[in-house]
């Protein structure tokens, strides 16, 4: 089942969205400390690819159990589920950072599968002033005539039929057409859409689509976090794991 999860505005604290984590949960924890994340009031949303490549992928179970942590399904979650259900290519998954999974017992593999299966394909978050923002891993399925967020929701939910649903799923998990074409067209019905999947050297906007995967799975990359209301960006570089480069916090438009 491909779901869309909708969240009301956060009346207690702040909302943050983070790029592809890729098993670097210790890096994420240091970034949250940097922005004084309050687990009693704040919420953290991820654009998918929580697992693979990094050293802490097994910690995904702990993070997904936290009531303040939410994410969408990425292509790496899909690869894992496909492999454990017998439909995927284990060698391909292993080459792409999934070797950690096959060292685990079948019972733990099953626990991870069940946890990842609950992840929605899309998230919609209300803001205090009535606007809303969206999250999807790669791209949203958008009609070339309407450019509407509702198109993507209708397709993923199955309203437009199974064929459109499968196409929308593929786009949500794998597409890079918008960034490859540097397409500045805005998505109607959203203030902003946050995506990952396509690695960028710094947080990058195309229209109202914000690319926030700054490549923490690469030695010269970073993990980036945005406070949704203010637009303030914080990031921690991979070099900081070695103690030779400071993290930073700055504002962006």
Annotate 37-63 with DSSP letters as a single string: --TTT-EEEE-S--SSSSTTGGGHHHH
Contact 232, 252 (CB under 8 A): yes
**Section 124-151 average pLDDT:** 93
**Total domains present in the chain:** 1
Comparing 92-106, 162-176, 204-218, 233-247, which segment has the lowest mean pLDDT? 233-247
Tokens 């909302």 -> residue = 15
Q: Are 125 and 79 in contact (CB under 8 A)?
A: no
C-alpha–C-alpha distance, residues 136 and 198, integer Å? 12
- The answer to whether residue 163 scores a pLDDT higher than 50 is yes
* CATH code of the domain in which 92 resides: 3.60.21.10
Buried b (16+ CB within 10 A) or exposed e, 157-183: beebeeebbeebbebbbebeebbeeee
- Model confidence at 1: pLDDT above 80: no
Length of the chain: 253
Model confidence at 81: pLDDT above 50: yes
Average pLDDT of the chain is: 93
DSSP string, 3-29: -EEEE---SSS-EEEE---TT-HHHHH
Confidence of residue 243 (pLDDT cuts 50, 70, 90): low
Domain that holds residue 128: 4-251
pLDDT at 238 (0 to 100) = 87
Identify the band that residue 148 occupies on the pLDDT scale cut at 50, 70 and 90: very high
| Chain segment 187-232, per-residue pLDDT in tens | 999 999 999 999 999 999 999 999 999 999 899 999 999 999 999 9
Q: Is 76 a catalytic residue?
A: yes
Looking up tokens 């199974």, which residue turns up?
A: 162
For residue 49, pLDDT beyond 90: yes
> DSSP H helical segments within the chain, as ranges?
25-34, 60-64, 75-84, 90-93, 106-117, 149-157, 162-174, 177-180
- Residue 96 DSSP symbol: I
* Residue range 65-72: mean pLDDT, rounded: 98
Q: Determine the pLDDT at residue 172.
A: 97
Given 22, 24, 70, 76, which residue is catalytic?
A: 76
Please compute the mean of the pLDDT values over residues 169-180 and round it to a whole number.
96
């Amino acid at each position: 089942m491909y779901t869309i999860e909708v969240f009301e505005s956060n009346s207690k604290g702040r909302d943050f969205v983070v790029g592809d984590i890729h098993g670097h949960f210790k890096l994420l924890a240091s970034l949250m400390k940097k922005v004084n994340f309050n687990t009693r009031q704040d919420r953290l949303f991820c654009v998918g690819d929580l697992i693979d490549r990094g050293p802490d992928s097994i910690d995904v179970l702990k993070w997904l159990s936290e009531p303040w942590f939410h994410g969408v399904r990425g292509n790496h979650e899909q690869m894992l589920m496909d492999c454990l259900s017998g439909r995927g290519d284990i060698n391909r998954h292993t080459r792409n950072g999934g070797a950690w999974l096959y060292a685990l017992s079948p019972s733990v593999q099953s626990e991870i599968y069940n946890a990842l299966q609950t992840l929605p394909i899309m998230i919609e978050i209300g803001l205090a002033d009535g606007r809303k923002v969206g999250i999807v891993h790669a791209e949203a399925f958008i009609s070339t005539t309407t450019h509407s967020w509702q198109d993507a929701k209708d397709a993923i939910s199955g309203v437009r039929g199974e064929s459109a649903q499968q196409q929308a799923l593929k786009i949500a998990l794998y597409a890079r057409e918008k960034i490859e074409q540097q397409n500045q067209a805005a998505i109607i019905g959203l203030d902003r859409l946050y995506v990952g999947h396509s690695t960028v050297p710094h947080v990058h906007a195309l229209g109202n689509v914000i690319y926030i995967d700054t490549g923490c799975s690469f030695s010269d990359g970073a993990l980036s976090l945005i406070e949704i209301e203010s637009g303030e960006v914080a990031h921690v570089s991979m070099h900081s794991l070695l103690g030779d480069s400071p993290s930073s916090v700055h504002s962006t438009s």
